[in-house]
Amino acid sequence: MSQSSASQQAAAPGSAAVFLPSKDFAAKARIPSLAAYRKLYQESIDDPEAFWAGEATELLWRKPWSKVLDWQEPFAKWFDGGKLNVCENCVDRHALGPRHNKAAIIWEGEPGEQRVITYGQLHRDVCRFANVLESNGIKAGDRVLIYMPMVPEAVVAMLGCARIGAVHSVVFGGFSSEAIYDRLEDSGAIAIITADGGWRRGKVVALKPAVDEALLKYRKIQRVIVLRRCGNEVAINPDIDVWWHDQIATASAKHTPKAFDSEHPLFILYTSGSTGKPKGILHTSGGYLTGTYATCKYIFDLRDEDVFWCTADVGWITGHSYVVYGPLANGATQILYEGAPNHPDFGRFWKMIEAYGVSIFYTAPTAIRAFIKAGDAFPAAHDLSSLRLLGSVGEPINPEAWTWYHHHIGGGNCPIVDTWWQTETGAILISPLPGATPCIPGTASLPFFGIDAAILDESGEECGPNQDGRLVIRKPWPAMTRCIYNDPERFKKTYWSDFPGRYTTGDGARRDEHGNFWIIGRLDDVLNVSGHRLGTAEIESALVSHPAVAEAAAVGRPDEMKGQAVAVFVTLKANFSESESLRQELRNHVGHMIGALAKPDDIHFAPALPKTRSGKIMRRILKELVCTGEVTGNITTLEDYTVVATLQRNIAR
């Protein structure tokens, strides 16, 4: 009998398969049984401050905190009065101890270069870069935008900012110049760290030109530090641009980190919401580090001998928390890869897992579905036996993808932690613990220690088993966002106004009779496309900024690969006519305004959009139309219900 079938148990009739942690795994795990989890969970819920303080104590504090939690709903201060340096915790603490020559980052560029950066080397690199930032006039509290490929210098840039107390705002390399401009405006950044370009699918993707374009409109930038990565030609403005290598060449490898308040801002990361303007999610120092440190330690059961690989880009929260801060705070060895998973073919990840002996692998369901489509032969060609644990994040993992991942990547031996969390939550909130929690494909299972998650109905009552409702968190936790940057009112309204004292996640979910959380998906106007959040309002406002468009509505429809695809309905202005070339132009226009990831998959031209008598677009109807091809509900409240028949005919064509 294979180990997979040994650990698989039939669940209650009618329910999904249950995979128990193997005895071997459990024996070595920090939390070795469900009973141990339940006991510690109960204690952590009875006294969350005691639990979190215990975790925070494992970090290096220059001054102890005077209060674990100061909660003036909805504003939290964690470890108030305490002082620490986040970078010192992630780097110096290891570099100045026995991990000095341990690999912190094993990097592979897409063309195949390899670099191993030890904690000692990372320390020197970060010290040099912190000196560069300071000698360029960047100070604590200044905002610095980072727009870089997945190279070790991106990590050095983030840590360098953290070291001097500057607030980084990383913008994913796939975003456009307009998106950079919006984030510069909102954050008031004074410096940018970028690169000439990065490698993606065998080609150089230029980055610096998008920065240059954004700076035509944004005038507050004092310095742009440019890394030479690909050697593609870029324009250099001698007034503000400097080369990374020139600056580093003369910088000292010694830098004494200052201690900052626990609540000192660490970063702003923009994410989509239900209006056209992305939200600047603000995270601070002590609490965020405690949350990412503790979740990394327990959920990945991270050990010194592990080789950890989270495939996320540093432009997303997963890259912040589980490429940079969480693993480095734990002194882990991790893999960083620059390029596409399918370059030169779909075997790239598996080849790297074999080559570096990766033991923990954390990726997204959308990637897994692409691997399934590419075929089993790719993973089968590699020895993946070094893997002991797998993870998933970004969207619900469908049972087919779970099962394939478990069998073809995990060899039937690896627990899969399906981790639920958000940019706003900073760290994982709901996930199995790999030595303790029975894994059931499709559920993120149980809340992490200290996390009081619940499902409420519209009236705020807790839902019964298997009843759909709204996922909320009932107690503050250290890695929670502190505010939307410069917009406390929007912060209150978005997250804290639906149910008093509860953080509203915006996700729908249900709990089964064992208490497992099954996430259904977003309840607001936010799509989840390939694991990335996109606001329908953002796409709509990009479309209406095109001269041909009078009105637009965006909705999601299920897509086998991406999870959700973007479908838009567009009403043209009177003097424009429908054509395939206009369709392409609109697609490119959205790419220009937001980034390639937001380009609509389907564009339906519509003579009119279905609206209520008060003029509100009925997205629910459009959604039903793109998902099923017809509309079944009552449409008599529409201002003009013949519109629906027209759209239905057009879609059927």
Of 198, 286, 315, 394, the one binding ligand WTA by CB under 6 A: 394
* Closest distance of CB 528 from ligand WTA, Å: 6
Binding-site string for ligand WTA from residue 343 to residue 382, where x marks contact by CB under 6 A and - marks none: ----------------------------------------
Kindly tell me which of 48 and 319 has the beta carbon lying closer to ligand WTA.
319
To 10 degrees, the CA torsion angle through 63, 66, 69, 74?
A: -90
Residue 297 CB neighbours (<10 A): 19
Considering only CA atoms, give the Rg of the chain.
24
556 part of the interface to ligand WTA, by CB under 6 A: no
* Closest distance of CB 421 from ligand WTA, Å: 5
Q: Which two tokens stand for residue 562?
A: 């991406």
Q: Taking contact as CB under 6 A, which single stretch among the options 21-29, 133-141, 252-260, 505-513 is the one that binds ligand WTA?
A: 505-513
Q: What is the DSSP string of 428-489?
A: --B---TTTSPB-TT--BSBPTT--EEEE-TTSPBP-TT--EEEEE-S--TTS--EETT-HH
* Residue 26 and residue 35 in contact, taking contact as beta carbons nearer than 8 Å: no
Tally helices (H) and strands (E) across the chain. Answer: 23, 32
What CA–CA distance (Å, rounded) separates 228 from 230? 6
419 part of the interface to ligand WTA, by CB under 6 A: yes
* Paired strand residues for 77: 70
Q: What does the buried/exposed string (b/e) look like for 414-425 if buried means 16 or more CB atoms within 10 Å of the residue's CB?
A: bbbbbbbbbbbb
Of 195, 251, 444, 566, the one binding ligand WTA by CB under 6 A: 444
For 97, counting Cβ atoms within 10 Å of its Cβ (0-12 exposed, 13-18 middle, 19+ buried), the class is exposed
Question: Which DSSP category does 610 fall into?
Answer: -
Q: Taking contact as CB under 6 A, which single stretch among the options 194-202, 421-429, 486-494, 539-547 is the one that binds ligand WTA?
A: 421-429
Q: Taking contact as CB under 6 A, which single stretch among the options 87-95, 115-123, 192-200, 413-421 is the one that binds ligand WTA?
A: 413-421
Q: Taking contact as CB under 6 A, which single stretch among the options 131-139, 241-249, 402-410, 500-508 is the one that binds ligand WTA?
A: 500-508
Instruction: Give the residue from 216, 215, 222, 214 showing the smallest Cα distance to 239.
Output: 222
95 part of the interface to ligand WTA, by CB under 6 A: no
* Closest distance of CB 430 from ligand WTA, Å: 8
Q: How far from 118 is each of 100, 103, 334, 337, 623, CA to CA, in Å?
A: 7, 4, 11, 16, 51
Kindly tell me which of 554 and 582 has the beta carbon lying closer to ligand WTA.
554
Question: Which DSSP category does 182 fall into?
Answer: H
* Closest distance of CB 239 from ligand WTA, Å: 36
Of 147, 325, 349, 421, the one binding ligand WTA by CB under 6 A: 421
Phi-psi region of 613 (alpha: psi -120 to 50; beta: other; left: phi over 0): alpha
Kindly tell me which of 255 and 320 has the beta carbon lying closer to ligand WTA.
320
Kindly tell me which of 22 and 423 has the beta carbon lying closer to ligand WTA.
423
510 part of the interface to ligand WTA, by CB under 6 A: no
Kindly tell me which of 157 and 519 has the beta carbon lying closer to ligand WTA.
519
What CA–CA distance (Å, rounded) separates 233 from 54? 51
Q: Taking contact as CB under 6 A, which single stretch among the options 44-52, 204-212, 323-331, 419-427 is the one that binds ligand WTA?
A: 419-427
Binding-site string for ligand WTA from residue 101 to residue 140, where x marks contact by CB under 6 A and - marks none: ----------------------------------------
196 part of the interface to ligand WTA, by CB under 6 A: no
Kindly tell me which of 271 and 413 has the beta carbon lying closer to ligand WTA.
271
530 part of the interface to ligand WTA, by CB under 6 A: no
Question: Judged by CB under 6 A, how many residues of this single chain contact ligand WTA?
Answer: 22
Q: What does the buried/exposed string (b/e) look like for 56-65 if buried means 16 or more CB atoms within 10 Å of the residue's CB?
A: beebebeeeb
What CA–CA distance (Å, rounded) separates 120 from 117? 8
* Closest distance of CB 217 from ligand WTA, Å: 27
What CA–CA distance (Å, rounded) separates 475 from 451? 7
Of 118, 292, 528, 564, the one binding ligand WTA by CB under 6 A: 528
Which residue's C-beta sits nearest to ligand WTA? 423
Question: Which DSSP category does 358 fall into?
Answer: -
Of 149, 165, 278, 396, the one binding ligand WTA by CB under 6 A: 396
Instruction: Give the residue from 315, 314, 321, 255 showing the smallest Cα distance to 85.
Output: 255
Binding-site string for ligand WTA from residue 245 to residue 284, where x marks contact by CB under 6 A and - marks none: --------------------------x-------------
Query: Which positions lie near ligand WTA, rule CB under 6 A?
Result: 271, 317-318, 393-396, 418-423, 444, 505-507, 519, 521-522, 528, 533
